[in-house]
């Protein structure tokens, strides 16, 4: 009996986590819409800003971005195409490996990220404080 209850508790926690994730993404999408971004678009910009800050590198390979934001390769390709169309990133072939594609943050993308970042962080703080509280 105890193992069954433990399993039910585990599944319940998992479902609570999924529900929090869905609510948080919804809040982020609504909040960032005023900046012309969704949660995933902001996340790509954020990962690129962190890469520049952390390594001094102005761009990342698409595969590196995919491993950090948990989107499929095709979904990420469509997202990067939208960001490129909006002038927030640009794509280029990798000099060291012509099969690879690098994504670089533009000045416009950096500015948009800077404008939206406080709002995104505030939403995360509000939503994730519920876990600790």
Q: Calculate the dihedral angle through the C-alpha atoms of 18, 24, 28, 31, rounding to the nearest 10 degrees.
A: 140
Print pLDDT tens along the chain (133 aa): 455 668 889 999 999 999 999 999 999 999 999 999 999 999 999 999 998 765 555 678 888 898 899 888 889 999 999 999 999 999 887 665 566 788 999 999 999 999 999 999 999 999 998 776 5
Nearest to 46 by CA among 98, 124, 130: 124
The pTM (predicted TM-score) of the whole model is: 0.85
Residue 45's CB: how many other CB atoms inside 10 A? 23
Strands of the sheet with 101-105, listed across from one edge: 59-61, 101-105, 89-93
Structural domains in the chain? 2-132 (1.10.10.10)
What is the Cα–Cα distance from 97 to 95, expressed in whole angstroms? Answer: 6
């Amino acid at each position: 009996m105890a193992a069954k209850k433990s399993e039910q508790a585990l599944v319940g926690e998992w479902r609570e986590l999924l529900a929090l994730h869905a609510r948080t993404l919804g809040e982020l999408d609504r909040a960032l819409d005023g900046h012309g971004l969704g949660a995933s678009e902001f996340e790509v910009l954020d990962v690129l800003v962190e890469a520049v800050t952390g390594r001094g590198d102005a761009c990342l390979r698409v595969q590196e971005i995919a491993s950090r934001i948990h989107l499929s390769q095709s979904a990420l390709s469509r997202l990067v195409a939208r960001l490129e169309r909006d002038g927030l990133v640009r794509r280029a072939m990798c000099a060291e490996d012509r099969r690879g594609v690098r994504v670089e943050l533009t000045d416009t993308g950096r500015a948009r990220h800077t404008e939206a970042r406080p709002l995104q962080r505030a939403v995360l703080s509000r939503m994730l404080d519920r876990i600790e509280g």
